């Protein structure tokens, strides 16, 4: 299952009702924070994100609107007497700047901060546990930037109890073998194929976070068939010139990426403050790709 909560989704400077990028992702019962603009911890409180569940933070790039909330959040974790390790993934340099700011405030945390500094321009697997993998999506912005692809791992096949009950000879002791994908040979010599004893597991779900970036079609193979795609769309097509200059995308470009990757659903975000009504982004993207949603603070996206 995927549960994505948008904490902030506007570009550049915070405004009264515009919050810079931050997202809280629950995937296969793992909990991640993606980007951490100024004020993220306040948004986490507002939308009731459990602070203690998060053990991994992924920062796309070191522009303030994606990163300036990190030091305050880590400082708060210190005040909350956190003891668990916190893993922070982000561009090279993130450790030094963050630690200096914490040091000058004499924020003495009991917990260990483990920084994983990224430098590769190729997509790489940076996180793996029993349930989830996280892979970088190299993006093209004014500074070194990665998107992140979160994928559920293939789940084991489930026992088809109805079919199994048709073979009284098959015992509980066999279940482990069946779950592991093995066929069962009966005493008669008959081989019961695994497929008839098991059900297909739910298809693993995936979520791709792509911000900030200019239009970069070579990410399509990395995110191919993704279930949920967040792609920045700072501008509409009317400001293609500005998008190119600032290395951002338009809603049309985001929709093209979604279409070419055969994504199931596209979420647009990172809207420029010049567009007070964000529904125009959706309208424009829908001319290219049908299933488009808009990010807004507090919005939740659930896939089962």
Contacting range for its own copies; rule: CB under 8 A; set: 90-98, 126-134, 245-253, 293-301: 90-98
Q: Which two tokens stand for residue 208?
A: 């791709």
Find the binder of its own copies among 28, 55, 93, 293 (CB under 8 A).
93
| 231 phi/psi in degrees, rounded to 5 | -130, 135
Residue 112 engages its own copies in binding (rule: CB under 8 A)? no
| Count of residues interacting with its own copies (CB under 8 A) | 36
Find the binder of its own copies among 96, 155, 203, 283 (CB under 8 A).
96
Residue 195 engages its own copies in binding (rule: CB under 8 A)? no
Residue 105 engages its own copies in binding (rule: CB under 8 A)? yes
Q: Any known ligand binding at 270?
A: yes
Residue 72 engages its own copies in binding (rule: CB under 8 A)? yes
Contacting range for its own copies; rule: CB under 8 A; set: 101-109, 118-126, 129-137, 244-252: 101-109
Q: Which CB atom, from 83 or from 128, has the smaller least distance to its own copies? A: 83
Q: Which residues are catalytic?
A: 65
Q: What residues make contact with its own copies under the rule CB under 8 A? A: 12-16, 19, 38-39, 41-42, 45-46, 62-64, 67-69, 71-72, 75-76, 79-80, 93-94, 96-97, 100-101, 104-107, 142-143
Query: Binding site for Zn(2+): residue ranges?
Result: 61, 63, 65-66, 141, 212, 270
């Amino acid at each position: 299952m995927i549960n994505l909560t948008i904490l902030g989704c506007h570009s550049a400077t915070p405004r009264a009702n515009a919050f810079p990028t931050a997202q809280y992702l629950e995937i296969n019962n793992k909990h991640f924070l993606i980007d951490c603009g100024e004020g993220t911890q306040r948004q986490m409180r507002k939308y009731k994100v459990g602070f203690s569940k998060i053990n991994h933070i992924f920062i796309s790039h070191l522009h303030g609107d994606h990163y300036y909330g990190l030091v305050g959040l880590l400082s708060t974790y210190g005040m909350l007497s956190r003891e668990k390790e916190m893993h922070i993934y982000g561009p090279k340099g993130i450790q030094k700047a963050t630690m200096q700011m914490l040091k000058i405030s004499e924020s003495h945390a009991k917990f260990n901060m483990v920084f994983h500094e990224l430098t590769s321009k190729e997509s790489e697997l940076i996180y793996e546990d029993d349930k989830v993998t996280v892979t970088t999506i190299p993006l093209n912005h004014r500074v070194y930037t990665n998107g992140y692809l979160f994928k559920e791992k293939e789940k084991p096949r489930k026992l088809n109890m109805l079919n199994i009950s048709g073979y009284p000879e098959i015992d509980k002791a066999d279940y482990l073998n069946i779950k592991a994908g093995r066929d069962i040979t009966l005493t008669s010599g008959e081989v019961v194929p695994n497929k008839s004893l098991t059900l297909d597991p739910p298809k693993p779900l995936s979520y791709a976070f792509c911000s900030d970036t200019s239009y970069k079609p070579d990410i399509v193979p990395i995110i191919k068939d993704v279930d949920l795609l967040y792609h920045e769309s700072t501008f509409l097509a009317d400001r293609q010139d500005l998008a190119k200059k600032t290395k951002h995308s338009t809603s049309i470009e985001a929709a093209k990426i979604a279409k070419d990757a055969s994504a199931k659903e596209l979420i647009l975000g990172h809207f420029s403050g010049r567009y007070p009504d964000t529904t125009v982004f959706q309208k424009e993207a829908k001319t290219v790709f049908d299933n488009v949603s808009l990010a807004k603070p507090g919005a939740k996206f659930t896939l089962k």
